[in-house]
Structure formats: C-alpha cells, structure tokens
Chain A
Amino acid sequence: MTVLRLLLLACLLLFAVRHDSTASSTYIEVTAAGNRQLRLAVVPPQPMGATIRPALANEAAAVHSFDLTMSGLVAAEVKDAAPLLNGLALTPIDFVPWLSAGYDLLIRGEYELRGEELTMEFRLYDVPAKKMLTSKRFLGREKDLRRFAHSFSDEIMRALTGEKGPFTSKILYVSNKTGSKELFLMDWDGHNPQQLTSNRSITISPDISPDTREIIFTSYKRGNPDLYKRGLTGVVEVPVSTRRGLNITGAWSPDGSKIALALSKDGNTEIYTVARDGSAPNRLTVTHAANVSPAWSPDGSKIAFVSDRLGKPQLFTMDANGGNVQRFGTGGAYTVNPAWSPKGDKLAYAKSVGGFQIFVANADGSNEMQLTFEGNNERPRWSPDGRLIVFSSRRSGPEALYVMRADGSGQTKVSRNGGLSQHPVWVPQNP
C-alpha cells in the first residue's frame, strides 16, 4: 500500500516538475484562429466557507480583468458563472458553454474568509483544450486581496508568455496632495497610495535603486536643491550630494554602484557620476550648455541625457564614461525625459509638438512613433516587462498619472490622489 502511494507521489512529482520546466522555458501556446484577440472570461471567485462577500469576489475579478486587458494579450470580461457552477473546486468544469460562447481562456477561483483571514485560489483554464494552465493559492488577510489578484495576473502572464507580468509592481511618484510636494508609492493601477516623505518642502525627480531598496530624490528641505537617499521602507534620509547649486535628476546605474546626476557647482549644469554615497564625482559632459536628466541604458554602457548645447533642449547619448556623444534622432524640437526600454532597444521621451507628447523610437533614433496626442504628456517610464508605459498628463485637469501599452493604446488614468501627481518611476520587481 505504502509502496503504491509512494510510487503515485513520485509520478505526480515528476509530472509537476516536467510541467514546470516547460512553463518556464517555452510558453504555452494558446492561439486563436485568424489572429483574433484571445477572449478571457473572469468568473468572480466563489465562497468556500460560511462568509459570503460578493464585493470581495467582484473586486478580485475586476483586478484580473483590468490587468489582463491592459496587458494587450487578451480581451477580458467579468462573467457571472452561476448557471455553470459545479460546486466543488476540483470537480471537472463543463467547458462546453464557455466554448460555445467563444471564450479561449477562463479564470475561476474560490475564497474563504474566516474573520480577517483570507484564503484565495485562482485557476486559469484553456477552454478549447479543456485543461488547467496554471493555478495559485494565497493565504493572508482580507486587505491583501488586490495583491493576491495582481499576483495571479502576473502568473497568468508567465503562463501565456513565459515572462512574469508587471502587475504586482509599484509606481513611485511625486504628489502635492498634502500641500507640498512629497514622494508617494502606489500599486501600478493607482490603488493603495502611500506617502513616503513628510518634508513639507519641494521634493522632485525620484529614482529607485535596481534592488528596489533605496530611493534617491532632490529636496529643498534644507534650502538648496540637494540629492538625498532613503530606504523604500523607513524614514531616515541621508544627504548624497549637497554641492553648491543644483543636485538634480539623479539616476541609479543598473549595477547599483553609481548615481548619475546633474550638478551646477562649476557654473553651468553638467552631468556627473558619483558613488552611491555621493563621493568620487566624475564629470561626464563638458559644455557651456545645460545638461540634465541622465538615463542609463539597461546594460549600463550608455547614458541618454538632455542638453541644450545646440539651442533648444534635445536628447543625446554618450558612453557611460562620457565619450562618444551623439545626438539622438533628428529635428530640432524641444525634447526631454529620455527613458530606455527594459530591453534597451527603445527610448521613450517627451517632445514638444505644440504641447509635450510621448514618443518612442529605436535606440538609434529610427522609427519614431508618437503615442499621445491630447494635452501635455511628460515623463514616460516603462513597466519592468516593457509592455506598459506610465506617464504624467495634464489632459484633464491637474497633472495625473496615466498608463498605456507601449504602442500607445489603452491610455488610462491610474492616479487617484487629490492634487497633482507627477514624476512617475516604475519600480522594478523581482523575477
């Protein structure tokens, strides 16, 4: 008996491992005929215990629907599955009604609420193949609900594309909702805004270390625009660069060892690198112009930046040691806010074409594409997977944060603060 059980377990483990390896090396092919977009039905999770909380189930479904629609991979719809319900979680699902309704994918799940304790399980099914693609179970608190749902969205992206989704990631930004500009952190979809700084001064241009542990930013809290560092969690702020004049637009190098920033200590504003504690300044640009907003390429070999050495501010690239300076793209328009895509093959930026608009081009400047057309749009930053871009826009009142797909589609306001919200930085996440 025991032998049989062991054998069985061994088989199951083998199966699990094999499945795992296929999932991580190649992606599961879910294709629809004729290249049409895959249709996903999201069924709100069903209650398992005595506590029934439809609002909670609907919120989880809304998270999945929003995340996965924004991914661009699928067209998601929340569907009440009452007539299709089979009761127990592990009983086979009747796929026929879903198939005949034209769905390719289906999310189902259960929740159990005991006091504050929340257990949730989500499963993704391939409807035509009548099989489960992935599942995940979460234990925590009721307030963790959105995080659980986002986490399964990430898992779905991994199952469908081989790469984890960005939906558990956060966005760091500046807001003046308290009356002065402070740093905030929110979920990528704008929920759970959390105030980080309380300096009652001007706080601008944050960036985050590649390990996501430390933030740098410029603050006027001691009078001069100086660069400070603080933990993402924690309250201690340490001065990094307090040189005379501007200490602005700090950008962490991809290996975390250096910070590129703009200093005006020598007269005009030039780009330097300093060590992560602010020591060992190394000047990279030598001009009579203003040079700001350095942006490291993901491999750390290049820095894009803004310079007005030819008149208006425009984009340039240089090697990380300051050599090989090249103008980026052509045309003399006012261009700022360079941001490399996570793969390093593209740059996003804001260009003034009668109001600032977001553009994307190849890293060599070719194939420029305008992504926004309405109001003023600035500060593009890519999601960790490169599928989405966050930016600030004044298209409908005070500056707010928007997210769009990297092709410009699906532009959606996500910030929910009062006041203005600006300077978004998409926080990387662990793979």
Chain B
Amino acid sequence: MRNGLKGMVVALGMVALMASGCAKEEVVKKDEPVVQQQTVKAQEPVRQVEPVKQPEPQPEPPKQEQTATAAKASEAVVLEAVYFDFDKSDLRQDARDALSKNAEALLKKVADAKIKIEGHCDERGSDEYNLALGDRRAKSVAKYLITLGVAADRIETISYGKEKPAVDGHDEAAWSKNRRAEFVIIK
C-alpha cells in the first residue's frame, strides 16, 4: 500500500506537468556560441566617399578596378559628375554640358580608357526603388555619351542607389549633390 501511494504521488507529479498536454520536456541543445562582433571598429559612418573600389578579400578578382595606368589617366583627366532632379533620370542642360566635356576628354585625351558610370540617389526615396533609379541615371548618361561618339564597349554602368552619398546632410543642399552620376576610369 505504501508503495502504491508513492507511485501515485509520482504519477500525480507527472500529471501536473502533463495535464495540459503541453508539458513536454524540451531539452535544448547548446547553441553555437553567439558570434559576437568580429572587428568592432568604432563605427565609422558608412558614408565614406570612395567612388572607386572596396577591399576585395574574395579569391576571384572582379573586373579589374583601377590599375596603374588608370591612375595615371585619371590624374590627367577629370570626368565631371553630373546631377539630377529628384526622382528623375533625364539630363538637365548642366548635365549635358558636363557630358560634352567628358565625351571630348574620352575621345581625345584618354581615347583608350574604359569607364564605369555610377548612378546615385539622394536619401529620400526608398532604397530598393532607388537602385533602379540609379541604374536608370547611369544608363541615361551612358546613352548620351554614346550619342556623342564614345564607343558603347568602353562604358559600364552600376547603380549604388542611395548607398554611397557624396555628402552627408539631410537638406536640399546635400540631396542635390547626391543625385548624381560619377565616372570612374577602370582601364
């Protein structure tokens, strides 16, 4: 009888845990250690203005960025950035003027250079849509350079959306400088 009673107590204990039907025992596996930050640099703003490249740890090198010749060429030639109106990719008159100069340099001074046109946006639009807008800006500049005689196979385009503003700031003065296309001589 005593044994029976003990058994009952044990069983009751189990029931209390199980009564809900939910009292499962969950044996929780050890987590992998939470990967705490690798290099925690004092957070620099993402917004360094580095129009050219990023350090490239990957084994497969991307399209060759800036080589020694390019560095020389870009010293000799400065291709002017062009600017856009909000949410627009069509070329203003000041942009056309700048592109005429750029085209002249590309045809005469660095006639063998290849360029990458980077399309950028200001911070106001949505970042995903801005990637498409930056793409359109870069392509609209490329198209105009081609009509001015620059060979299409010398031009690449890339969009950074609003990921790489030229200047910080949250007013029209900053925004108008960030809605732009920049030129990088890649070869």
Contact = CB atoms under 8 A, between A and B. Distances in A.
B185 interface: no
A8 B8 contact: yes
A143 B132 contact: no
Interface string B75-113: 000000000000100000000000000000000000000
A202 B160 contact: yes
Contact of A334 (B58, B125, B158): B125
B159 interface: yes
Interface in A266-304: 267-269, 290-293
A264 B142 CA distance: 15
Contact of B46 (A179, A249, A264): A179
Interface string A130-165: 001111111111011001100100010011000000
B11 A194 contact: no
A204 to B, nearest CB: 7
Nearest to A139: B27
A108 to B, nearest CB: 12
B71 interface: no
Contacts, number: 200
A200 interface: yes
B21 A137 contact: no
Interface stretch (A14-22, A59-67, A363-371): A14-22
A90 B16 contact: yes
Given A134-B20, A135-B23, A312-B87, A225 B43 contact: no
B25 A225 contact: no
Contacts of A23: 20-22
Given A5-B8, A141-B30, A312-B87, A337 B128 contact: yes
A17 B19 CA distance: 8
A321 to B, nearest CB: 22
Given A334-B125, A336-B126, A178 B18 contact: no
Nearest to B133: A290
A181 interface: yes
Given A132-B20, A158-B22, A192 B125 contact: no
A53 interface: no
A284 to B, nearest CB: 15
Given A144-B28, A204-B163, A418-B43, A16 B19 contact: yes
B187 interface: no
A223 B41 contact: no
B65 interface: yes
Contacts of A5: 4, 7-8, 11
A199 B54 CA distance: 10
Contacts of A15: 15, 19
A148 B43 CA distance: 33
Question: Interface centre among B1, B18, B163, by most A CB within 10 Å?
Answer: B18
B148 interface: no
A135 B136 CA distance: 58
Given A159-B22, A201-B54, A179 B43 contact: yes
Nearest to B21: A20
A16 B15 contact: yes
Question: Interface centre among B18, B20, B40, B157, by most A CB within 10 Å?
Answer: B20
A144 B31 contact: yes
Interface in B116-162: 125-129, 131-133, 135-136, 139, 157-160
Given A23-B21, A202-B163, A222-B60, A140 B28 contact: yes
B22 A290 contact: no
Given A90-B13, A137-B26, A138-B28, A195 B35 contact: yes
Interface in B25-74: 25-28, 30-32, 34-35, 37-41, 43-44, 46, 53-58, 60, 62-63, 65
Contact of B129 (A19, A148, A220, A306): A306
Contacts of B43: 176-179, 418-419
A40 interface: no
A107 interface: no
26 contacts: A16-B18, A19-B20, A23-B20, A90-B12, A90-B16, A134-B23, A135-B22, A137-B25, A141-B28, A148-B28, A195-B35, A198-B38, A201-B54, A221-B58, A222-B56, A223-B53, A262-B132, A264-B135, A268-B132, A268-B136, A313-B129, A334-B87, A334-B125, A336-B126, A336-B128, A337-B126
Given A202-B163, A336-B126, 19 more contacts: A8-B8, A12-B18, A16-B21, A17-B21, A135-B17, A138-B26, A179-B46, A194-B34, A198-B38, A204-B127, A222-B62, A264-B159, A269-B135, A290-B136, A292-B128, A312-B87, A313-B125, A336-B128, A378-B127
Interface of B: 1, 3-4, 7-8, 11-28, 30-32, 34-35, 37-41, 43-44, 46, 53-58, 60, 62-63, 65, 87, 125-129, 131-133, 135-136, 139, 157-160, 163
